[in-house]
Amino acid sequence: MPPDIPQINLTSHGVDVRTMAGTMTEYSTKGLHAHNHHQVLRIQSGVAMLVDRHRRQPMFGALTAFIPADFAHRSIVLGNPVAYKSLYLSRDLISLPDDEIRLFFITPLESALFDRIQILTRADLSRNFNKECLDLFLKMLPEEMKKTVSLVRLPEPADTLSEEVIRFIEKNYAGPLSLKDFTRAIPYSGRHLSRLFKQEMNITIFEYLRLYRILMASLSLCQPDRQVTQIALETGYASLSSFYRDFQTVYGIAPKRFRATFSSVAGDAISPV
């Protein structure tokens, strides 16, 4: 574990497995953190961005995240406060790949088991069928994790300049943007700004802008009452054909098919900025 990443030690609570639930208004921690247990995370309402050293990816609705022990991460709230629940598992309870955060869907049964498990102390394992629910949940989890989900993954900045560019995009993505708009807000020449951003992020400023617009559009598509044309305009697209082209490029499917796939599991949990 890198020395600059604080680690939360859950073993001190005296249990090999523990649940934690609450509400986030801005973020889970100000900087990246890790813990000595594996974490299974569910966002019960709202939208959060799950961030690690290299990328950020959205969480909402029926999506579940497996975060390996010692893996540095944090969560950032998008829009309204986020209700969450986590299940922390000691390393010896489950053997799963630990190279990255994994997002996947779980079945209604697995979701019900997850909701039922409530463990704060060792004594809780013998109460309210916690042990039985946990055993079945752990038995099903490896198979559930094979149902990985491909959503937009945004590269995570490490340099202050790239952070400024991204903050500008997050505030202004809904309107038309040119390189001059960036250089008015950030005191660099367009060529220099573009070069430094590409050098760190491995994509151009406008490639990142496209990914962010499609990400925000995909969150809006999970609301069944939103029109695709309205979503396209609200995410900075002046042309519906350009929106469809970019969406197809990023996700490999059309917006309406994406909606049919994800809205049934996301429900009313989506409240994008």
Is 79 in the same domain as 117? yes
Q: Is residue 262 part of a domain?
A: yes
CA angle 216, 221, 226 (to 5 degrees): 110
Q: Is residue 150 part of a domain?
A: no
Is 21 in the same domain as 129? yes
Rg of the chain, C-alpha, whole Å: 20
Asked if 67 and 101 touch (Cβ cutoff 8 Å), the reply is yes
pLDDT tens by residue, the chain, 273 residues: 555 666 566 554 556 889 999 999 999 998 999 988 999 999 888 888 899 988 888 887 778 999 999 999 999 988 788 899 999 999 888 876 667 888 888 888 999 999 999 998 888 888 889 999 999 999 999 888 887 877 778 888 888 999 999 999 999 999 999 999 999 999 999 999 999 999 999 899 999 999 999 999 988 887 778 899 999 999 999 999 999 999 988 888 899 888 887 654 444 333 333
Is 107 in the same domain as 135? yes
Domain-ending residue, one of 109, 144, 179: 144
DSSP string, 217-228: HHHHHTSTTS-H
Domain-ending residue, one of 92, 123, 144: 144
- pLDDT for 41 equals 95
Is 121 in the same domain as 209? no
Query: What does the alpha-carbon distance between residue 45 and residue 39 come to, in Å, rounded to a whole number?
Result: 18
Q: What is the CATH number of the domain that holds 162?
A: 1.10.10.60
Q: Is residue 1 part of a domain?
A: no
Query: What does the alpha-carbon distance between residue 95 and residue 260 come to, in Å, rounded to a whole number?
Result: 34
- Structural domain span for residue 137: 7-144
**Structure-token match 């630990």, residue found:** 98
Tokens representing 161 are 């300049």
Cβ within 8 Å of residue 144, ≥6 positions away: 64, 104, 105, 106, 107, 110
- pLDDT for 267 equals 42
Is 130 in the same domain as 219? no
Q: Is residue 244 part of a domain?
A: yes
Closest CA relative to residue 56, chosen from 170, 172, 220: 170
Tokens representing 2 are 């890198």
- pLDDT for 85 equals 95
Helix (H, G, I), strand (E, B) or coil at 30: coil
Domain-ending residue, one of 92, 109, 144: 144
Is 11 in the same domain as 97? yes
Is 13 in the same domain as 130? yes
Is 99 in the same domain as 163? no
